[in-house]
Structure 1
Amino acid sequence: MKLESPKVTVNKSAQDTFNFLSDVKNFENLMPENISKFEVLDNDKFLFALKGMPEIVLKKKETTPPNQIVLGAAGGKIDFSLTGNISEIDATTSEVQLIFEGQFNAMMAMMIKGPINKFIETLASNMPNAINTVA
């Protein structure tokens, strides 16, 4: 299963956007309002939970500065990745798209597709404001 967020424009350079997403503690600023838990476990790993959902641990797996960051499931029952693709528009503007990919059976995919799609859309839509506030 592959889900893509809408592309969002950020008023920061691709490098600044990459730096923001490279710091896992900044993901707390991107989370939806229904977050019930967020905890940084390591400099490249964090745990979060949304109300009514199990806890998920994400770990930074791969980086290609300043264009891509790949987070992956760190343990748990399901294996998936969340990739942030960053494109430079000009020296002070970049564009970001999040891509969620995972292998799920048809029943599981049907159950999680809606919530995950909404989740990555929320992360993306919160990004421009969060980056401008923090960076």
Structure 2
Amino acid sequence: MTIIESKVSINKPVNEVFDFLSDLNNHQQLMPENIYNWSSTKDEAKFTIQNMAKLALKVSSITKNKEIIVKPSEEAPFELELKWTVTEDGEGKTEATYTISADLNMMMKMIVSGPLQKLVDHEANALKTILSTK
């Protein structure tokens, strides 16, 4: 299993960060420009990654103010899990960690690990930017 992760510190309480992340409608704001055909509800999202794949995702587990796990709801190019974990740092700030776990063979790992790392970094930084301006 390939693990790709990015961590950011956000100057907001954990419940605000969690509430934003727990609604998949908000995730469109976190996506880079190469994502299109976005449609979503609170618990599901469908979109296309330019020159790569179409994905349909669904919240598979949620632990209030701690963790949100999202998995494909339709067949994906490889086994995949997306996880947001939020923890309070004790000073009213939240540390948000975004992790993608993907079952990649060596060839796929060489091809997609770079773009997946860019995606994870982009989404984590976009979350920080969006919530810092609210």
Task: Please report the TM-score for the alignment, with normalisation by the length of structure 2.
Answer: 0.90
Partner of 1:130: 130
State the partner residue of 1:72: 71
Cα shift at 1:83: 0.6
Match of 2:17 in 1: 17
Q: What percent of counterpart residues are identical? A: 28
Partner Cα separation in structure 1 for residue 54 and residue 130 of structure 2: 23
Contact preservation (8 Å) 2:32, 2:122: yes
Pairs within 5 Å for 1:1-135: 1-5=2-6, 7-40=7-40, 42-77=41-76, 78-90=78-90, 92-133=92-133
SS at 1:66 equivalent: coil
Distance 1:27 1:49 in 2: 14
Q: What's the Cα RMSD here?
A: 1.5
Tell me the distance in 2 between the aligned counterparts of 1:72 and 1:17.
20
Tell me if structure 2 keeps the 8 A contact 1:13–1:90.
no
Asked whether the 8 Å contact 2:62–2:68 carries over to 1, the reply is yes
Q: CA deviation at 1:36?
A: 2.1
Segments of 5+ residues of structure 1 without an aligned counterpart are none
Aligned residue-pair number? 132
Shift in Å, 1:75: 1.5
Aligned partners of 2:45 and 2:133: how far apart in 1? Answer: 21
Following TM superposition, where does structure 1 have runs of at least 4 consecutive aligned residues deviating by more than 4 angstroms? none
